[in-house]
Structure 1
Amino acid sequence: MRVNILSASFNASAWRLLPNRWDFIAFPLILCLIAMGVVGYHQTMAPISVLKAQAISLDPSMLPGYALRTTLRMLAAMVASLLFTLVYGTLAAKSRRAEKVLVPILDILQSVPVLGYISFTVTFFLALFPGRVVGAECAAIFAIFTSQAWNMTFSFYQSLRTVPRDLLEMSRSFHLTAWQRFWKLEVPFSLPGLIWNMMMSMSGGWFFVVASEAITVGNNTIALPGIGSYLAAAIDQRNLQSVGYVILVMALVILAYDQLLFRPLVAWADKFRMENTMSASEPQSWLLDLIRRTRLISRLLKPIGQVLARLARIPTRLPALLASPKAASMHGERKPSKVIDAIWALLVLCLTAYLMFRVIAYVRTGVGLPE
């Protein structure tokens, strides 16, 4: 009898591990994503002499490969922008003293043209990875990063500053630490707006693809394989047919990004929206529904979700520097010292005056004061 029970239990467990029909539909998509990453990695680690030997071809059959390279660059830039947003935006929102410095710096950074960053970062990345394509790839990714990160950071910063007070009070009643409150309350509250800004930032990155993939160092120009380089070559040769091809491929890539990345994120993050009334139509995603209906893939992804949930529940107490003023006042913490605030303001003013002096001195070396 006991053997039969164990056998039935084993069969039930084995049945739960068997893929269903939705798994067979999702597996090819996952394999394609893995293949894209592997191919992109091998091409990135190739010697830079390969780029100099292979000119950009206007053959339409090359466009799928170029589209893959551009897609991976923009995805890498988006990941870097997201990490920058979480760190920089959090520090600016939770520290009054850091906010006085970080927000103006961010405002200045977003006003600098993308070409301005390329002019002084290309040499750095090429020297960081000498003789490798990865140096030029990092320079291109950084250029795209500068067209995405600032908008996302401002959105996340504003969301952290506008977390409702009643939700903060509830987090206090649950005795959440600053780390737990960040991942359980503040990040979910910010997600809907952040995802929409990610979509806008990704769209803005397309304007700088051409500039980021054609890197000039001295008298040498390094053309990275991609949609931007293809478009630049087509315009240079006045080949309108190739321009039409690249526009079509760009539309397909944007559609793929929407269906495979942003639409699932929007549908998943809809549960975090803070609204008193339900929306007329909830966002839907066929890919998210497909993943939820799978059996084997869902079980494989479940441990990853459990690990992330446990990391978010770690009772880590962050330094007082990262405690938001609103949360600190609710927890009854003492008010910051006015003397320290005055010293900090004086240091910021001195640093600003020094930087202005250095800028003026540098400008005067090439331009006279009357000019």
Structure 2
Amino acid sequence: MLNGKTILLIIGGGIAAFKSLDLMRRLRDEGARVVPVLTKAAEEFVTPLSVSALAAEKVYRDLFDLTDEAEMGHIELSRAADLVVVAPATADLLGKMAGGLANDLASTLLMATDKRVLVAPAMNVRMWEHPACQRNVGTLRGDGVLFVGPNDGAMACGEFGPGRMSEVPEIIAAIKTALGDGPLKGKHVLVTSGPTHEPIDPVRYIANRSSGAQGTAIAAALRDLGAKVTFVTGPADVPPPQGVEVVAVETAREMKDAVEAALPADAAIFAAAVADWRMASETASKIKKQDGALPVLEFAENPDILAGVAQMAAGRPPLVIGFAAETDDVIANATAKRARKGCDWIVANDVSAETGIMGGSENAVTLISEAGADVWPRMSKEKVAAQLAQRVADTLLQAK
């Protein structure tokens, strides 16, 4: 798979840089060309001579090297590769990438490239878990940057936990997946996300506390596995991921129309928190407050988008997945919802106020299917998304 492929390898400054030497050797054994870029900090751990010898290529180091700019400018260097790999990706490099900084050759290449970027993080466990680092990781995932690792293990500093750079075979497998467009290549997946806003009058509306973070993470994870993703989103707090087809809607009826227009699909995941009700009649003017008189709001039921797709007589996606946000009897209510709606899976979670899940950065879900209830541990919404996307890929591949 790697024959004839060019990998632009950016080596960050960390003790894990020694693994980059083996990575280059093994990539070349697989037929790839490796063009190495060293940061100033990386030169404290590996020498330009050793990197050049193993890559059998010139090492690029300086943004302001006039000879290099004449022969191959940084713009061309960033686009001549089939994939950009950052290994190790330090906290500093991740921060520069997330912040859009471009003050050295490595960060400038990452800003200028039009190719996919795969990073292999490596840093102290406390640095990896720091909120600033996790914010940067979330931003980069949303931008379409691919991640491999980090792994749990002992650190050079003596601490233990997540932060070890993935092993070379894992990185090579991730490179092959990125270049092969992933197991969902050729598959179309529809994802709904965010809340809907149901107007009361021109300035007020009915909504819920959904941020859209989980649906956005799911769309990004499916994209990373190679799927064509149609992302139908209500007015969410988080921006939609790049690299997917975004259809922005406001109301439940608009979402229903957008979903129907996006079909057919190989899978449909309904992560949106659609309002159950809307106003029976929206007023054209703002409802005025009157002393001693409360307005009477008459509701009408919104269309059931999940049930409508799951129960389609023709054109039903082979895999239909719903979400159940519950506050009581989570598994029982979600199981009943799966049967009532006619979908294949239900992803259930407890959104009681004390869980902090609604609008938070973590989730704790139970996957309800014909096989029963599979309880997942609490984890970041990105990890939930990655696990669900992989389950979708495995199921669609098995159905071939």
| TM-score bracket relative to the smaller structure | under 0.3
Q: TM-score, normalised by structure 1?
A: 0.24
Q: TM-score, normalised by structure 2?
A: 0.22
Which structure has greater strand proportion? 2
Higher CA-based Rg = 1
Which structure has greater helix proportion? 1
Higher relative contact order (CA 8 A, sep 6+): 1
